Amino acid sequence: MDGRNLTFVGIATWVVVVIITVGWEIRSRAFLLTPSGLAWAALMVAFLVFFIAATWAECPPLKRIILCALQTFAALGAMALMTRGDKMEPILLVIIAGELGSLPFLPAMGWLAAQTAAFIFLIRGGGGVIPFTLAYLVFQLFAYFAVQIAHREAHARQELAETHAELRVTSGLLDISSRTEERLRIARELHDLVGHHLAALSLNLEVASHLTSGEAKESVEKSQAITKKLLTDVREVVSRLREDEPVDLTAAVGALRDVIATPALHLDVGNVAVTDSAIAQIALRTVQEIVTNAVRHSGARNLWLRLASVDHTLEIDARDDGSGTDQIQFGNGLRGIRERVEAVNGSMEVSSMRGAGFSVKVMLPIEA
C-alpha cells in the first residue's frame, strides 16, 4: 500500500476523532480546560506527529516499530485521561493495526493482543465491555489483514515488474548476441569455403595460363583476373562481417516503458547506436539495474532516464523522485554496474540525499 494513502486516511480518521470528542466536551464544558484535558490534547497531537513520521516517507523498519509503539502509548494515554464513558480514542488503535500490516503474523498478533488487553483494562467497570472489546478487536484484525494483503500485492507487482524488465533486457542482449554470432558464422563460411576454393581456382588458372597459348591463354588470363577480383571482394565482405554492426539501443530501452508501472518511466532516448556489442550489453545491463533498483528500493513515483551519444561517449543519466538517502551503500547491483563500466574504461557517478531522490550517471565509450 502506498504510504501516502495510508497517511491521508489516518489523518482524516484522527481529525474525525478529535472533532467529535471536542464537540462533546464543548457542550459539557468540563474537561478541555483542565490539566487532564490539556494533557489529552498534547497526547493526541503527539499521536498525529508519530503517525505522520512513520507513514509519510520511507521509514526504516526499526524506526517505524518505535514510532508505532509511541503511537500506542499516546492513544492509550489519551484514552485513560478521557473521563467520558463513550470514548473515541480506541479508533486510533485501529489505525495502528493498519500500520502493522508490514509486520509478520505472530509479532503483529502479539501487538494487537497487548493493545486489546490495555483497552479492556482502561474501560473496565463500564457497561458492554465484552461487545466493545470484540468490536474493536475485529476492526483491528480487519485493518491489519487489509494492509498486509495490499503489501503482498504491491510486492508481487514489484517482483513481476523486475522480472519483465530483466526479460526485456535479456531479449535485447540475446538479439545482439545472435546477430553477432550469425555474422561471424557467415564470415567464417565465406572465408573457409568460398575463399579457399577461389584461391585454389586462381592457382589452377595460373598454371593453365603457362600451358596454353593464343586465344585460349587470353581467355584463361581473363578468367584468372576475374577470380582474383572475386577473391578480393569475398575478403572485403568477410572483413566487414567481422566488424561489429552498430547496435541501436532505442528499441531495447524503450521496451522497458511497457513493463514498468511504478515508478512512471520517462525516457529521453535519441538514435543511440553503439558499434561495439560488448558496450551495448553493458549499457543495457546498466539500464536494467537502474530501473529495477528504482522499482525495488526508491519508493519513487517517477524515474527519468536519458541516453545520448556525445563525442564518442554514451551517456546514461538517470534520476528519480524517491526518498533518497544520506549514506549510499553499494549493493551487488550497483557494484556490478561499476565493475562492468570500469572494465571498459568508463565512469560512474552516484548521488543521493534524503528527500531528494537518487541519481546515477554512467559514461561509456561507444567503441571499446
Mean pLDDT of 319-337: 76
Q: CA distances (Å), 114 to each of 32, 35, 145, in order?
A: 29, 28, 17
CB 367 within 8 A of CB 273: no
Distance in angstroms (rounded) separating the CA atoms of residues 161 and 318: 18
pLDDT tens digits, residue range 170-201? 666 666 666 666 666 776 766 666 766 677 77
pLDDT tens digits for 51-89? 988 887 667 778 889 999 999 999 999 888 877 666 788
At residue 71, the pLDDT reads 93
The distance of Cα 9 from the centroid of its chain, to the nearest Å, equals 26
Whether 344 has a pLDDT exceeding 50, the answer reads: yes
* Mean pLDDT along residues 208-237: 73
> Which of left, alpha, beta for 161 (phi over 0: left; psi -120 to 50: alpha)?
alpha
Pick the CATH number of 246-365 from 3.30.565.10, 2.60.120.10, 3.30.450.20, 3.90.1300.10: 3.30.565.10
Q: Which of 247-251, 259-263, 282-286 has the lowest mean pLDDT?
A: 247-251
At 131-154, the pLDDT tens digits run 778 888 899 999 899 888 888 887
Query: Residue ranges of the domains in the chain?
Result: 3-127, 183-242, 246-365
Phi, psi of 215 (to 5 degrees): -65, -35
Quick one: DSSP state of residue 31? Answer: S
* Range 93-106 average pLDDT: 89
Kindly report the pTM of this predicted structure. Answer: 0.58
What mean pLDDT, rounded, does the chain reach? 77
- Report the pLDDT value the prediction gives residue 1, as an integer from 0 to 100: 47
pLDDT at 176: 63
Confidence (pLDDT) at 4: 65
pLDDT for the residue 25: 65
With a cut of 60, say whether residue 9 has pLDDT above it: yes
Question: What percent of the chain is predicted at pLDDT more than 70?
Answer: 73
pLDDT at 17 over 80: yes
pLDDT tier for residue 128 given thresholds of 50, 70 and 90: low
**What does the pLDDT read at residue 80?**
85
Lowest mean pLDDT among 59-68, 106-115, 155-164: 155-164
Contact, 253 vs 265, CB < 8 A?
Answer: no
Q: Band of the pLDDT at 349, cuts 50, 70, 90?
A: confident
- Length of the chain as a residue count: 368
What pLDDT was estimated at residue 180? 64
